[in-house]
Chain A
Amino acid sequence: MTDRAVTGHEYPDRLPAQRDVALVEVLDRALGAGVVITGDITLSLAEIDLVHVSLRLLIGSEPLFIGEQDQ
């Protein structure tokens, strides 16, 4: 049985546990991947690390929602 997490558009309509997983997925991708135009990313590493750490702790403790099927 797999759980389905959600993409950005569905985000507001889903339950908190699914949103938490989705947010980690979006952050992993948008902050850690994607095309980089050198020198123009202005994020501070400390900000990114803090977001990652807090959400990883959350994912470790929160039960995930099971059973809802995507349309």
Chain B
Amino acid sequence: MIYAYGIAEPSPALPPSCRGLGGAALRVLETEGLAAVYSRHRQLRPRPAAEQVLQHERVLEAVMACTPVLPMRFGTRLDSTDRLAAAVAGRRRELQAALDRVRGRVELGIRVLPTDPPAPRPPAPRAPTSGRDHLLSLAAARRRDERIAAQIHDPLHDLAVDSVVRERSTSPAVMVATYLVDTSQVDSFRRRADEVAAGHPDVRVVVTGPWPPYSFTGEGTA
């Protein structure tokens, strides 16, 4: 059985020296101008346990250090390298286009969270006394969160090639978004995130990454 980690631009630096899931050696299958990074297993049940998913991620970070790569979703098992080659060949054009898109770029995440403990919301003139009042106050809180999200997202999106806003106003996060950023712009992006965060002391802004570009592989929206 084959476990696949990502589709990369061929490079003499592949495969990286780190291990894959279950300590398996990493291998490379080159086909149609693309390099699929995989490992071979007698048996493997990929479970979304932290350690396995982290190992999948570590492999991709090691690959990303060598060459542009499109991460595969965790859990991709195939019967053989022939199946892997066929899958890659079947999507060669779009995979190549997606690789071109992420070359020289990284994914940075933004997670906007309420402060801890949560800052008190501006008090309503009186406590909600009816179902309708309650819904109106929820709607007002939601609009406020969406305003904050726009004020934080827009200036960051300006420094990015692309972005995906994953969630708005979903408790506990105020906003979760991810950005495809030129490596030359990463410092500027972080500085701007600092500036934006300073302007919103009522929330906490967490910058994460750089990540392999899971969110920008051209896959249909999840």
B-binding residues in A (CB < 8 A): 1-9, 11, 21-37, 40-43, 47-48, 51, 56, 59-60, 62-64
Contact = CB atoms under 8 A, between A and B. Distances in A.
A64 B113 contact: yes
Interface of B: 4, 6-7, 45-48, 50, 53-54, 56-58, 60-62, 70-78, 84, 87, 95, 98, 107, 109, 111, 113, 116, 166, 171-173, 176, 178, 190, 193-194, 197-198, 204-212, 214-215, 217, 219, 222
Given A1-B197, A59-B113, A64-B206, A27 B53 contact: yes
B74 A3 contact: no
Contacts of A8: 54, 57-58, 60-61
B74 A34 contact: yes
- Interface residues of B: mostly helix, strand, loop or mixed? mixed
B57, B71, B210 — most chain A CB neighbours (10 Å)? B57
Contacts of A59: 113, 172-173
30 contacts: A4-B207, A5-B207, A21-B206, A25-B109, A25-B111, A25-B208, A25-B211, A26-B57, A28-B166, A28-B176, A29-B71, A29-B211, A30-B73, A30-B74, A33-B217, A33-B222, A34-B214, A34-B219, A35-B72, A35-B219, A36-B73, A41-B73, A43-B74, A47-B48, A59-B113, A59-B172, A59-B173, A60-B172, A62-B116, A64-B116
A11, A28, A31 — most chain B CB neighbours (10 Å)? A28
Contact of B73 (A7, A9, A33, A56): A33
A33 B221 CA distance: 8
Contacts of B58: 8-9
Nearest to B88: A37
Given A9-B61, A41-B75, 13 more contacts: A4-B207, A5-B111, A6-B208, A8-B60, A22-B208, A25-B211, A32-B73, A34-B214, A35-B95, A41-B76, A43-B47, A59-B113, A64-B113
Given A2-B205, A7-B209, A35-B219, A42 B46 contact: yes
Given A11-B54, A26-B57, A21 B75 contact: no
